[in-house]
Every structure is written in C-alpha cells, then in structure tokens.
A and B are shown apart, each in its own frame.
Chain A
Amino acid sequence: MTCVHLLLTLVFAVSLGTPVEVHRPRGVPLSKKPFYEENKPFTCLDGSKTILFDQVNDDYCDCKGGSDEPGTAACPNGKFHCTNAGYKPTFIPSSRINDGICDCCDTTDEYNSGAKCENTCKELGRKEREVLQKMAEITKEGFLLKQQLIEEAKKGRGEKQSKVTEMQDNKKQLEEKVEALRTVKETAEQPEREAKERHLKAWEEQKAAIRLVKDKAKMAEAFLELDDNADGLVSVSELQSHAELDSDTDGTLSEAEAKGLMGGVEQVDTATFESVWENIKDKYHSESQPEEPAPVETPVDEVKEPVVDNESEPYPEDISEEEDEDDDDDDEYHEEDEKAPPTMKTPEKSQEDEEAMPPYEADTQVLIEAAQKARDDFEEAEKALREMDDQIRNIEKELSFDFGPNAEFTYLYSQCYELSTSEYIYRLCPFNRVSQKPKFGGSETNLGTWGSWSGPENNKYLSMKYEHGTGCWQGPNRSTTVKLTCGKETMLTSTSEPSRCEYLMEFITPAVCQEPSNIDLSAHGHTEL
C-alpha cells in the first residue's frame, strides 16, 4: 500500500482552511454529523446496509446512495460538503474530490491531488456581498420605480376605461347621426333618381328616332346599290352578289339562301324591301365602304415558353439569406390589390354617330346637388363612426394585454428600445415585435412578433417570447426570447443568437424588481460558521 493510498484512507481530514472545524468525517455537513458517530457502525443513509465505522471514507463505495464516502470520490453519486467559511457553503459531486481542479473556495476538495489551490472564500464572499449590495440598491430603487409604474398603469387604465366608456356613448350618438343622415340621403336620392331616369328615357327615345331615320337612309342606299340594273326592283340574283349575307357560312350566298332572305319572292320593290332589309342589315356591307379589316390574331406558334437552359439547375429563388429576409409578402399583395381589373370598354363609345347625352335640366341638377350633399354628409358621419370604432378597439386591445400582475409592464406598450451592435441595430417593441436592421444598408428582418410571457412557472413575467418572424433557410421562422431583469432603467442590454434563428435579448426594467425584503441575502444557503 502506497503512502498516498494511506493518506486516502484517512478518515478524518486535518482541517486546512478553517481552524475551528467541528470534528466530523470529511465532506459531511454539520446537519448530517449525527449520522456519523465515531467508532459506531454506520448505517447508510439510504438504509441499504450497515458497515464498520472505519469503512466510512475508506475510499471504497459500500452504500448505494454514496453516504459512506462523503469525503472521497469512491461513490459515483456521492456529495461532498464544502464549508467555505467566509463564503457560501456548498455541495459538490464527490467525483470532483481530488480531481486536480479547485472547486471549493476553501480548497477542501483537493486534499490529495497535488493541485495548488488557494483559499478564495474571503475574496469571493467580499465580492458576493458587493454584488448583493449593489443588487439590493438597484432593487430598492427599481422597486420604487415599479410602484410608480403600477400607479401610473392603474391611473392610465382607469383613464382608458373611462375614455372607452365615454367613447362608447359618443359612438352611440354617432350611430344615431349616421342613421339620421342615411334617411336624409335616401330621401334626397329618390327624386334625384326619378329625374335622372326621366331624362335618360327622353334621351333614349330621341336616340331611337334618330336611329330609325338613319336606318331608312341606309336601306334606301342599299336598295340603290343592290338594284344593279336600276329597274327599281331588287332580285334574288342581285342579292346574291353580296356573299357576306351568307347564312350557312359556306362563303357563298346560294340562290335558296337569297330567296329565303327575300321572303320567298323573286324580287322586291322599295316598299317590300323594308322587310328584306330587316333580314340583311346586320351583315350587309355597303359597296362604297371598304371591308372592315379582320381582327389581327397572334399566331400561336410565336408565343414561346421561356428558354430552358439544360445546364442550369433549379435554384431557389433566394440568392442568400439576406435576400430571403427581404421578401415581404405583404407589399406584393398590396401591389396586386391596387391593380384595377382591366377596364371594360363602354359600349357607347363604339357606337359612332351617336351624340352625347344632353346635360340635365336645371331642376334635375338641383335635385342631384341636394342628393350629393346628403351623401357626403352621410359618408363623413360613417367615417367618423369607423374611426371611433378603431379607437375603441385599440384601447380595448391594449386593455386586454396581460401587463403583469399589477399592470407594471403597461408602460412598455407602444414603446420601442434599440440596441446597436457591430453589425446590426436591434429593435424591441414590447408586446409588438422584434426586428433587426443591418447598420450599413439592407432591409429589416422580423425576429418575431409578440407571442406570450414565457418565464418559469413561478414567475412567467421574467421572459417574453416573440414568434413567427421571417423564415430561415432550411430552418424555422425566427423567434426571440427576451429575458427581463431588474434595473433602474428600461433598456435593452444584450442580444445574441445562441442557436440559428433563435435570438436571445436581455432587457432590464424596474417592472420585474422584487420587493427588497423578499430578497434573501443568504438565499443560496445559510452561512455555516
């Protein structure tokens, strides 16, 4: 057995760091000392077995739970207690005993490894106290600020609620006004419509008369044209010279067809031509007029598919992630929407020789103006109502947010906070969205929109989750977790991307500061001696 090994099997450690060490097996906390009675059989704390006392800390694991070897690394699941006088006592896994790494600030874990450890407990304790003190100050101030925030939020909430109530009343009045104006409008529109219809009817009649006259003239002209032999009669054969009148679309006007058009007779005079004219006028081409050119059809074979290059591979649309971020679907859709459907050609325009409708008569004009005014008044009132509705909805939406148990986060609503890093400007708009914009040009990337509070179960208000940001190449949509810590100011203190497209922001705000009395200065365990 080596000397080293003898050392290993020593049951009691010679206390190195703390002169007033209570005598107990190495690695045993004071609270457990009663279980380790010197020179009495030791029963494993899990009750699994009883062993001789000299097998406690003899560097061999006898108890399943590891309780026989609190001061050696023999048991895989043992715990070693560092007293750490001057700092916080702690347990470390017994596998860290004598592994050459200083874990306990009082150096007691490295009693046989050759590791040169220094007792740093005092220094750590001092630093810890400083930190705690600083934190306490911040917390104290932060908590005061938080109280103000709560007050303000309460006030603000009250104000908003009463505003909503007030607006609801106004809204009712507005609605009544809208209804009244609607009646006025409808009343004014009735005579307007009637006057317009009258005017239109008169115009239609006039137009029909004119058309009739023109038709007669055309008929006469056609008769003269058809009557090739000028015998005052149009015969079947004369009609046959007008192939365009072909009814079975074989390109020629057969005798039978012509006869059919002639109403079964061989020839007609000017009077009986009237009925023939009815049959042919739609197709008839005047010989003095040139034929209408046929509509130009685009030859089908000229329409080609875009040339497909066999060498080129199907590339994804986005050239890089940056570009991918650019594609803002909303914009595209808006553009689509703005494109009006192709305008239909008004039939009037194609009818050549018809004149424009004459202006309304003065009394009709008066009626129209009156109706227009009623319409404008109505629309204005309706718009006001819509705006009012929007305002109410917005306030109600704000009121519906979970702004914390005491509404202390209310003040963050509709604010934005920025943080500039070497490459990007990050922007957090609480309860709304998180974004990232390259410092030197380039468009903004959405890192997520407000999702929910996502803190631990005991206090979900310690972190926020923003989700469904711009998608990542081959990956998920971007999302951001915002960790909130107590501070006097409200600001974004850091951002990182611990995992691709999953961002983490640290944000300080007084709204999460705890009441100072709730902060246990020795929260990490009671100070032992």
Chain B
Amino acid sequence: MQMTAVVELCFVLLLFLLFVSAQAVDRSNFKTCDQSSFCKRQRELKPGQSPYRALLDTLELSDSRLTLQLINDNNKVRLLLELYRLQGNMTRVKINELKPIKPRYEVPDVLISDPITEALSVVSQDDNSLVLSLGGNEQRLIVSAQPFRLDIIEGPQVLMSLNSRGLLAFEHLRVRKDTISHKISSTVGSMWDSIKSVFSSNSESEETTGQQKEEQPTSEDGQIKEEEEEKPGMWEETFKSHSDSKPNGPSSISLDFSLPGVEHVYGIPEHADTLRLKSTENSDPYRLYNLDVFQYELHNPMALYGAVPVLISHSTERTMGIFWLNAAETWVDISSNSPDTVSSDAPQTNVRWVSESGIIDVFIMLGPKPADVFTQYASLTGTQSFPPLSALAYHQCRWNYNDQEDVKAVDQGFDEHDIPYDFIWLDIEHADGKRYFTWDPIKFPTPKDMLKGLMDKRRKLVAIVDPHIRVDSGYRIHNEIRSKNFYVKNKDGGDYEGWCWPGNSGYPDFTNPEMRAWWASMFAYDQYEGSMENQYIWNDMNEPSVFNGPEVTMHKDAVHGVWEHRDVHNLYGLYVQKATSEGLIQRSGGVERPFVLTRAFFAGSQRYGAVWTGDNAAEWGHLKISIPMCLSLGLVGISFCGADVGGFFKHPSAELLVRWYQAGAYQPFFRAHAHIDTPRREPWLFGPENTALIREAVRQRYALLPYWYQLFYNAHNTGQPVMRPLWVEYPAEVITFSIEDEYLIGKDLLVHPVTDEGATGVTAYLPGKGEVWYDVHSLQKHDGDQSLYIPVTMSSIPVFQRGGSIICRKERIRRSSSCMENDPYTLYVALNPQGFAEGELYIDDFHTFNYQKSKQFIHRRLSFSNNSLTSRNLAPDAQFSTESWIERIVVIGGSRPSSVSLISADGVESALEFEFSSNPAVLTVRKPSVSAAADWTVVLRREQFINVYKHLGVRKLGDFWVNYLFKRKDSDWSIFNEKRKLKSAM
C-alpha cells in the first residue's frame, strides 16, 4: 500500500516534470484515434451496407414526434429512432437503445428549453419507405427501411442523407461475459434473467400484434449477443500508465451524414487549424475532447481546451448545420468526393461522428442562409451573453502581477503612457497557496484597498478561480465541499484526487446543481473575502486539467453522481463557467451583468461569458491562427473570443507584439497575457515608438466600442456572430469560402490584420460586386469584388468600412471605457454607390440587466438616403436617458452640399457648419449637438445659390453664409469665421 503510494507520488512528480519541461506539445501525451479503442473500433468499420433496418410497422406518430424501431440484423439489438420537426426549419434525430440494460446519458442543461416542435405528417408510405413532410418549401424527410437511411430533400434535391454510407453503429450496453463475470455468475445470472425477460416481453408484445417476422427466437437472442466479437479495449483500456476500468463496457455510437453539393464545411471547434475543415482521410479525425494541451501545435486535428460539436456546411446554394449533442469524447471524420474535373460527379462532403458513450441526438439545421443557421442554433442553445461594456475594452493580464504594488505601478504606467485599459488580471499566484477565493497574505494583504484604487480610476480587476481545490483541511472551501460530499468520486467511491497547481486537489462535481448553487454562493461579497463589485472572475484549467491524469485530464471512470466522467467530460468546463457566472449575478442581487472568462467550453457556453484560445505562443503562426480559431467559434455561437495578445509562451519581438495588438484590437476579446517565465511586456517596455503604435491600436479599439457593443447586443438578441467569415455576408462568392486572413466585424467592417513579419503590404479581398469599401484611416474608396494590394507600415491596420453602412464611434479616448460613458458620438456615414447608408446605435447603462428587466435602453436606426440622415427609434417601448450627444457626422463618398441643417424632433430647423474635402470625398458636419436619444434629421442640400438667395428671407443667416462661402468655393473655416464675425459686427 505504501509502496504504491510512493510509486504513484514519483509518477506524479515525473509527469509534472514532463508537463513543465516540454518545449512543444508532446503528442505522445495525447491519444490518437488508434489509441482510443472505441475510435479504432469504429474507424475500422468501412462504408457499406448498413446492418440496420427500420421496422416501419413499429411507427408511432403523434403530431410532433415520430418513433419507430431499428433493428441490427447482425445481433438483433433494437434501437428506437425518434424524429422531430422543430420550429425554425430544423429536424431532430434521436437514436437510443430500445431497452438498454441501464440508462444511457442524455446531455442536460445545454438546450435552453425543450425545442418547440411542429407537426410532422406522413405524406406517403410503402413497404420500404416512409415520406414525411417537413412543412413548406417542398421539404421532405424520407425514411428508408432496408438498409435504414434518412434523406432530407427539398423538391428534387437531396440536402442531406443520414446513414447513407452505412456507418450507423450503436454499441449496445451488455453484460461482461469474461471469467470474472462467470465468477460472479449468481448476480450476473439474475441480471441475465431480467434482461431476458425484458426481451421476451418485448417479443411477446410483438407477437401479440402479430407483426413479428423474421425475429430470432428469444432464447437465441442472448446467444447471438454472446457470440458477438470481443475486441480489445472493450472492457478495459490502458494509455501510458493509466488504465480505464470501463465498468460499462463498449458503449460508443456513430452516424454518418452525406452532404451532396457541399465542398466547404466549418466549425467543430476547438482546433488550431484552418477555418475550412480539411478532409481527414489521411489523418486522424478531428477530435473533440477538452484537454489542457501544453504548447499546442498548429494545423492539426488534435483536441484542445473546448469542444462545440456543431458543423456548418456551406455552398452557394445553401448553408446548413449539424449539431451532435453528445458530451463524451468525440471524433469527426470528414471526407469528400472532391470535384473531379474529369468525371461529372457532383461534389459531396461526408461527415461521420463517433462518440464514446451517450446517445445519438442530432439537430439538423436546414438554413438555408447563414443567418438562418445561426438563428436556428441560437434557438437551441441560446445566444452570446451580453457583456458589460468594459469587458469589450482592453484587458491587461500577466502570470503574474506580483503584488499590490505591482498592480498599482502597472495601473499608473497606463496613465503615464496615456493608454486606456479597463481590466487588470491576477493569475494563480494571487491566491494564498493556490487556494482560490483567498489572497496571498504577503503579496495581496489588502485586496480591497487595491480594488478601491482601481475603482477610483473606474477600472476593474479579474482574479482567477480554478475548479481544482487544494486538499487541505485548513482550507474552508475544501472542507465545505468535502463535508457536503460535492467532490467528483473515483471509481472506488472515494473523493477523486489529482495533481494540479496547488498539489493534491479535489474536483467539485459541477454537474450537480446543488454543488453549482453552493459554488455560486461563494462569490457573495461576505463569502469571498476581499472581493468587491469591480472584481470579476476567470475560470482556467476547467477541462478539467489533472496533471497526473490520463491525457492531463480526469479519469474516465471517475464518477459524477450516477454518471461516469466519460459521459460528461466535455460538459465540465461549461458547468464551471455557468456556476461562476451565476455567482456573479447573485452577488449583485441580480442587477449586474457578469463577466467570466473560461478556457474549456461546450455548446451553450456562449451564455456564460468569454473564451480564449488558451496557451498560445509568441510566434507569427499563432497570431495568424487566432483569426480562424475565433471565426470557427463565432460560427457555433461563441462570439466573445480572443487569443492572448503577444502570445502566452515565449518572448515576442517588438514587431510581433505591435502586430498582435493591432490584430487583437479588432478581435472580440482583447487581452494581453504572458507566461510567468517571460520578460515583462507591458506596452511601454518596447521603446517610445512601439508604445505609440500600441497606444494607437488600443485607442482604435476604444473609439469603436459603441460598434462592438451594438454588435454584442445584436449577437445576444439574434445569435448572429460578431466576428464573421466573409462568406457569411457574401454567401455566393466562392472566393470568400476559404479566406481566413481577413474577416468582418458585424457586416460593416472588414479587417485584414498584418500577420507577417517584415510585411510591406497585404492583399485584401474586398467582396461585393457593385459595392464599395472605404479605408477607415484614409477614407479612400475602393471597389468591391477585387483583391487589393495595400502597402503597410508599422502603423497600418488595414480596416475598411462597407459603403452603405453607418458606424458610431466615440472619439474621445479616455482612461477606461467607463470614463467614456457620457461622451458624444461621431457618426461615420459611408455611402454606397446609390447614396444610401444605414446603421444602428445602441445605448444603455453598459453594465446592468436593466436593459432586459425594465427596458432601459436606446436603440436607434440611423439611415441616410436622399441626402438626409435620420435617427429613428427602433424600440419605442424602451426608455433610457443619456447624456451622450452627436458631436460630428462624417459623410464619406458623397458630394459637396450647399448647406447642411438639422431638423429636430419638434420640426425646428437649424443650420450646421461643415467642411468638405473632395479627395477623398468627405463631408464633416460640425456639432449637430443633438442628444443621441432624440429623433432628428440632418439634411444636406444642393440648391443653387440663386435659389438659396430667393429663400433668404425664410432662412437663417448662418445658411446665408454657408451658401455664400459655397458660391465662393471656399470652405476654409477661418475665412468663414472671419465673414461670420464681420457679419455679427454689422
């Protein structure tokens, strides 16, 4: 016993060493498909005739639910197929064992509610098929009996087929029949009896309905099962020195999907890979298994910290989605009949999902447009949480800010260098011996003083709270969790313990709602000592990371209540963030919006905060990959994504750091972070020139905060991603389908960050035939539907505003976003070739739920057409007052007006001063001074001087002078003012 302990300790130490000493990812720490026995078993199964047959005579149909049984002709095990037509053009396909010997896990808490179903009706039926109507658009679902397959068609076109390659495979739960089970044959025997009785009653019921056909006699039923092939790894599996006891035996599931006409598929994050998913025919499948991967490599299908089992397909014709609701280890194989130029075969993409346990529960989102798929997915798993505005601003992080003095010095550094920031972050060293919810008594003796100091600057702090809990009888959190029996259990029933930052640690069972409620209560100000309202939380290591566990995570045979860790693994991180986020809401009495960052995530994690791409490195490749990684997350609902600016591991060159700030300033979650062993890299440590470049990048972010905020409001309401691949807005432009070095923010800003060392230019593709784009810095106009070479210097961040859009900015950059809350707006009206533009403005208190609870917000439509810009209320039932006003309107791409005037809500018209430059064509209207909450119109007039003169009697004097100057073709303000002064002197 002692010996074992020593050996184990040594092993722990060695593993820990290995963990901290490797230079790059040690692939041997992580399983390949071949090393994961179910994946190997499943992948050995090749496409062909499916052994499954649908028993059409078992059909049962209520208005919204259709069930029928499937039988595997090889082993006679029956499955139950459930089909639902869901509101919003979706189909749900569920397959479970008809009579499993024990229940199989169905993922809870991911769907926001039971999806609303719509009536399914049988259109026709024959011996071998069943045609169901999916509602309008001639959409049909065809169930073929033998072999079993499902086809979704629209008119003559097949949109998607399931099991068309015969890869449906469902490992039914069974009783082990090896020597050990014979030894305990008495118990097994009785189990067998009960199982047999289940089956016999089943056959009996069939007999009574007289529909039993070629079924094997009951007695043989079990026989056949027993003869089934035993494969290695079904009942026990070892990886490196870890063994998985697999008490439930084989339980994996698999299903294939064929997508005719599709060549581009996306999604299934998180992988450090291209935006467009690659064929996995010559590699491992993409793996979804939340893992703490040390120094991950780029461009491979290895699993990373989070998993969202959602795949999006896109073609010029249609966009669709497949949501595979399963939280166990999952592998996704992608193959395609790539368009063979010789043959006339239509392109097709095949996707095969394999999971280790649980059931098949698939949501097929039929689009047809990208926006429809986002809406459909959002209706299932919810939308992005609406963050407080400050969370969209700049975050300064480091492992670690050493102590309170350090925090203060960094805070002052930002003021001294006039760089705004909203959040400073504390990593694990802030806690007393990595006991989260506590503070190191020497380094952070008075956290409230520190927080108060930040609050005085209207800034905030994030402290880390990880889910591994130090096993220490002197630690209250540990004692409470233990006494409440809230820890995950090991296979033998004791508290599961693993090695993490604090040393030996326990892992609270976040799948337990009582545990989550308790955890949430720990964030109350009187529970979490030293915390204050401007402190927010970061959940790291929640894959969960277990340094001495298999693949640096928890043993699959660990136990969460009645379920194995195997079943819930990918869900653990979501629950941690959910509980933490609920804690932050509760501590403010439900008033304040939370902000919680997580590293691990699952489908639905978007509801609880932000994610980042984990422990990247200070390398150009990692800067580049941040774009497709966040784009992939955005496609599957998680908009609030960012990568560590500067790169976590290693030391960035000044050039890389500057370029990363420039790129990060245009990604949703904008945080600099660094490993403890890297030299300090606050923005002012790289010389004045680089400080200035970083300052400018951060300032650009702050100026655009109103736009980011409005996009997040939109994402929260509609599920549309904030950061979008070009094809989302230009779905018919094939050239955009593989672009991943540029992207759209909303639909109106196109960003092509510089991500190459020593770059002197970038080539950006500007989409949209007949559209125009304006360089946001020079305001130069460029035509759409072209690749544009843009020379760059170190200060360049190529960003374009779409002609036809209006973007609101706040151009008074202050210390933090909170300091800017009442500042006025500048509207950038970028005209399209038709002289039209529109945009939105959203304002609320920027941090509470009042926008939701009591409709306290302003949401306005800004539209420019026929030479007038109008602000119209989009939410007449909402109310909010703001001190913000409109200080400037910049109209880009128009012509010189003769006069500009403001018509206020009460119809009073007053003249506005303006400047116009013709190359580029920019009209700057000075100080409309109208409240951002008000209705108003600004009119640009192009009358001839003579007409103006005619109306002089009814016009204001200001107009006279504006027009007088216009006639003189002289818009210089100074002369204008001279004249005006002269006039007033008269």
Contact = CB atoms under 8 A, between A and B. Distances in A.
Interface of A: 1-2, 4-5, 41, 43, 49-52, 55, 58-60, 62, 73-74, 76, 93, 95-96, 99-101, 113, 311-313, 315-316, 319, 422, 472-476, 496-502
Given A311-B240, A500-B679, A52 B980 contact: yes
Interface stretch (B487-495, B730-738, B813-821): B813-821
Nearest to B885: A5
B823 A100 contact: no
Given A49-B973, A50-B977, A95-B815, A1 B929 contact: yes
A101 B883 contact: no
A96 B456 CA distance: 13
B678 A73 contact: no
A476 B815 CA distance: 34
A447 B182 CA distance: 67
A475 B678 CA distance: 7
A474 B677 contact: yes
B819 A41 contact: no
A74 B812 contact: yes
A315 B18 contact: yes
A316 B21 contact: yes
Contact of A496 (B21, B402, B981): B402
A313 B677 contact: no
B402 A4 contact: no
A472 B815 contact: no
B677 A500 contact: yes
B974 A49 contact: yes
10 contacts: A49-B974, A50-B974, A60-B888, A60-B927, A74-B812, A95-B814, A99-B820, A101-B457, A476-B679, A501-B677
A422 B18 CA distance: 30
A509 B13 CA distance: 46
Contacts of B418: 93, 95
A435 B624 CA distance: 42
B501 to A, nearest CB: 15
A355 B280 CA distance: 87
B457 A473 contact: no
Given A315-B14, A315-B17, A472-B677, A50 B814 contact: no
A96 B679 contact: no
Contacts of B811: 76
Contacts of B230: none
Contact of B680 (A5, A475, A498): A498
Contact of B887 (A51, A74, A500): A74
Interface string B391-417: 000000000001000100000000000
A522 B443 CA distance: 36
Contacts of A96: 814-815
Contacts of A59: 824, 887, 927
Nearest to B888: A60
A58 B887 CA distance: 11
A100 B406 contact: no
B815 A99 contact: yes
Contacts of A76: 699, 811-813
Given A95-B813, A101-B457, A60 B926 contact: yes
B906 interface: no
B977 A73 contact: no
Contacts of B456: 101
A315 B815 contact: no
Contact of A41 (B458, B820, B926, B978): B978
Contact of A50 (B240, B406, B699, B978): B978
Given A41-B978, A476-B679, A496-B402, 11 more contacts: A41-B974, A49-B974, A52-B981, A59-B887, A95-B814, A99-B819, A100-B818, A113-B822, A313-B26, A473-B21, A500-B678
B396 to A, nearest CB: 15
Contacts of B677: 472-475, 500-501
Contacts of A316: 17, 21
B980 A73 contact: no
Contact of A62 (B13, B406, B812, B973): B973
Interface string B863-900: 00000000000000000000101011000000000000
A74 B926 CA distance: 12
A518 B823 CA distance: 46
Interface string B29-54: 00000000000000000000000000
A51 B979 CA distance: 11
A55 B977 contact: yes
A477 to B, nearest CB: 12
Contacts of A319: 13, 17
A21 to B, nearest CB: 26
A499 B682 CA distance: 11
Interface string B687-714: 0000000000001000000000000000
Interface string B927-941: 101010000000000
Nearest to B14: A315
Most chain B CB within a 10 A radius of its CB, from A76, A100, A311, A319: A100
A472 B679 CA distance: 12
B977 A101 contact: no
Contact of B402 (A2, A93, A95, A498): A498
Interface string B811-846: 111110011101110000000000000000000000
A2 B814 contact: no
A95 B812 contact: yes
A1 B908 CA distance: 12
Contacts of B442: 422
Given A76-B811, A500-B678, A313 B18 contact: yes
Interface in B230-253: 240-241
8 interchain residue pairs of minimum CB distance: A50-B974, A99-B819, A499-B680, A60-B927, A52-B977, A95-B814, A316-B21, A500-B677
Nearest to B406: A498
B695 to A, nearest CB: 11
A502 B815 contact: no
B676 interface: yes
B812 A101 contact: no
B611 to A, nearest CB: 27
Nearest to B457: A101
Nearest to A94: B812
B672 to A, nearest CB: 15
Contacts of B823: 73
Nearest to B681: A499
A2 B883 contact: yes
A250 B957 CA distance: 131
Nearest to B821: A100
Contacts of B929: 1, 5
Contacts of A473: 21, 677
Nearest to A475: B677
Contacts of A93: 418
B442 to A, nearest CB: 6
B533 to A, nearest CB: 16
Interface in B929-986: 929, 931, 972-974, 977-978, 980-981
Contacts of A496: 402
Interface string B169-202: 0000000000000000000000000000000000
Given A496-B402, A500-B677, A500-B678, A73 B887 contact: no
B630 to A, nearest CB: 28
A502 to B, nearest CB: 7
Contact of A60 (B402, B815, B887): B887
Most chain A CB within a 10 A radius of its CB, from B811, B887, B974: B974
A55 B931 CA distance: 20
Contacts of B28: 313
Contacts of B241: 311
B900 to A, nearest CB: 15
Contacts of B824: 59
Contacts of A497: 402
A475 to B, nearest CB: 5
Contacts of A51: 973-974, 977
Given A41-B981, A50-B977, A52-B980, A101 B678 contact: no
